[in-house]
Amino acid sequence: MRLLWRATRLLWAADAWAMWRGAAAAVAVLAMGAALLGLSGWFITATGMAGLAGIGIAFDVFRPSAGVRFLALGRAGARYAERVLTHDATLRALARLRVTLLRRLSGWPIPDLRRLRGAAELTRITGDVDALDGLLLRLILPMLAAVVTHLGAFAVLYWLVGAMAAWTILVGYGLGAALVLLGIARGGITPARAAQRHLQQMRRQVVGLFRGQRAFLVGGGLGGQLAALSHSETALRGAEARLDRIDRRAAFGLSAVSVLVVAALLLAGSVTVQAGGDPALGALGVFVALALAETVMPLRRGLAELGRMHDAAARVLGDAAPAAAAALPKVTPDASAGLRITDLRLTRPDRLVPLIDGLSLHIRPGDTVALRGRSGVGKSTLLDAVAGLAPLAGGRITVLGADVATWPEDQLRAHLTLVPQRAALIGGTIRDNLALARDRLDDDSAWSALRAVSLDHVAGPRGGLDMALGEGGAGLSGGEARRLVLARAILRAPDILLLDEPTEGLDDARARAVLAQIRAVLPRAVILMAAHRPAELDAADRIVDL
């Protein structure tokens, strides 16, 4: 429950004013509903009693009927406002939660963030955030409105009807509904967790099926994928069916509580009437008791999904950044020092033999060095180590005269740029993708970068910088997407540029032209690249075999 309380505070703080507006509207709906039914019951009973007494002609029917009309219309308006305001508040809270989560994730180490690129991790994060939308809409706001309405009804009934009726309703609903709702919360935890787990599994399988349908068709694996998807759907339906059964039993239990409370009010009203009390006021208490059933019924679904929301809150609030390291002092870079690697040793947990052992290398400004070796020998790991993203088992890496471990993160990224094999593009325009490299990107700089990678002739006829790209850069070929990533790296004008197989997807002539133009645009940059193609090796001043 502590995690749910933390999640509630985080969501509520996203826009507290919107939350209070939604809560006020929810209270108004329940209060007007109870008042409408209570006033109607009193009005009908009072007019009947007046008729029996022979004074019906003197009975004021105008003010009560006006009150009934006001409450009926007001309840409809309040219901509309409650729907609009609570959903608006929840959407604002979820938007703020997503930003908060991304801000926390931005503090993670790069190797951990790379794991989040997998479909499983991304599906989990988005699914958990979506699961928390029920925390406010189906649990917190209805519960808050129910408590306030019951307390208000207790005060009004205590004043108008008497202590017996007021305490009967408060204790009856307080104890009876609490027992039923507690049973829902306990019984629904396991199936709610299972439903959330199977739902996320289904999402991953559907995304994988759509993305890999060609491979599955060619390899004959489509049947197996469909069978797995069908199995997950069956499991999800089973968990949802268990939740539905719990929900139906809870509805029966809450209805039984309401019936018992109304029966108790009828008994209390008969005692009051026999003692000379007003029958109309006794009827008011009975009808209010009937109306208050509306305050507890909506809570059952929210409590049935408590397990789903609790697990989602645990994962979302647990996705915080590790403890921040002590702030490093600014480094005074020496552009003439270039990049120096001394007696470097790199290991990997799944290997007993070091990937790299005893490597020493000095690259001066303006030099291009290519790393050559078979796949898995450690070229990409070496680039990560130079970029400060992989730990060193031994040796030292000096960037512009300072140890890479002593650089503050933001300052290091201003001088060093890494283009990995799986560099990402975003859905949007070419301008949007290039703007990731600079806060203020002007058109001249953007076109210069595109010309440097021979991409200007591709973008020009198709909208220029405003050419729209789909998810992950869809709309560009593999080679064009690679060149757009290189153009983004050029815009940063780094002193040290690390390239991991930069010309993948390009023909030989285009690859040679792009590498030559990158060097022309960055004449004094240190360029270290993992290479395997002749064009990349020919562009290097030196080749280091790993």
Domains along the chain with CATH numbers: 2-318 (1.20.1560.10), 335-545 (3.40.50.300)
Nearest CA to 504 among 528, 527, 529, 533? 533
φ, ψ of residue 332 in degrees (nearest 5):
-95, 100
pTM of the model: 0.67
Considering only CA atoms, which of 522, 536, 511 is closest in space to residue 366?
522
- Give the containing element (helix H, strand E) for 468: strand 468-469
pLDDT tens, the chain, 546 aa long? 677 888 888 888 878 888 898 889 999 999 999 999 888 888 888 887 776 655 655 567 788 888 889 999 999 999 999 889 888 888 888 888 877 777 777 766 666 666 666 556 666 777 777 778 778 888 888 999 999 999 999 999 888 888 888 899 999 999 999 999 888 888 888 888 888 888 878 887 887 787 777 777 777 778 888 888 899 889 989 988 998 988 889 899 999 999 999 999 888 878 777 777 778 888 888 899 999 998 998 888 888 888 888 877 877 776 544 444 556 788 888 888 899 999 998 887 766 678 888 889 999 999 999 999 888 788 888 998 898 888 888 899 999 989 988 888 888 888 999 998 877 888 888 888 899 888 788 888 889 989 888 888 888 888 888 888 887 777 888 888 888 999 999 999 899 999 998 888 788 888 899 899 999 999 999 999 998 888 889 989 999 888
Pairing of strands 394-399, 402-403: antiparallel
Classify the C-alpha dihedral 406-409-410-412 as positive or negative: positive
Using an 8 Å Cβ cutoff, are 282 and 168 in contact? no
| Residue 500: exposure state from Cβ atoms within 10 A (0-12, 13-18, ≥19) | buried
